[in-house]
Structure 1
């Protein structure tokens, strides 16, 4: 495949994946009540440990009680087709929607979020955060 065709294919594939992901989430698109998407990926210190994975997932689920959280989802790597553009190196993901930047900022210093970090940070070796606004 020529380089330009490959780039065009990868660009199209990425756009389709992003569009599919956004359309699959019930974000109250009509009113855009929760347009800020906070997606966090965790790499476990012990990726083979089911107990560590389950403890992290349980900790993430406590975050749903924080005021301003619209929707909270947790996930693990899906058994989808292996492709060059798919990163499967992480172990657990957290996806939270917020009504605005102020709600997300309040979440960061909320006692439940701080307790989650205190109680679960020993489980992960790396965390990557992607924040996006629905458009």
Structure 2
């Protein structure tokens, strides 16, 4: 095999391998609604300029992942995105939790870990808004 052909072959093989790896990394397009119940909570901190308070609340929210009916939990803080009229960035911490069903969400609400979180962290926030949704 000539050097030129070998280089072409190696280049083509590398491109195919990269394409296969990229395709494998794409999430499945399965239409099954794996965790259709969404619980999104926004917290406004009493001391919004306190990184320590924010970090305590984030740590507290993360303990909720130990509840057996919580399928996925994401914790966030305000992103430094473009300021637009439709964007509310007045909150400090958010939690996004996914459940398999309404029974799992109900279990979460009265679970000792959730109640302990409220007991230990409620002094950190002045306002909470909850958005519950079911995927359609």
Q: Calculate the TM-score normalised by the size of structure 1.
A: 0.78
Larger Rg: 2
- Following superposition, the deviation at residue 32 of structure 1 comes to 1.3
- Residues 97 and 112 of structure 1: CA distance in aligned 2, closer, same or farther (over 3 Å): same
Is there any run of 5+ residues in structure 1 with no aligned partner, and where?
A: 1-25
Q: Give the distance between the partners of 1:30 and 1:81, measured in 2 at CA.
A: 32
Q: What residue is the counterpart of 1:22 in the other structure?
A: none
Unaligned runs of 5+ in 2: 1-26
Report the secondary structure of 2:106's partner residue: helix
Secondary structure at the aligned position of 2:34 is classed as: coil
Please name the residue that 2:115 is paired with: 114
1:30 pairs with 2:38: no
Distance 1:129 1:34 in 2: 18
1:79-117: per-residue Cα shift (whole Å, max 9, x none)?
111000000000000000000111000000000000000
Supply the distance in 1 between the matched residues of 2:103 and 2:47 (Cα, whole angstroms): 34
Dislocated runs of 4+, deviation >6 Å? none
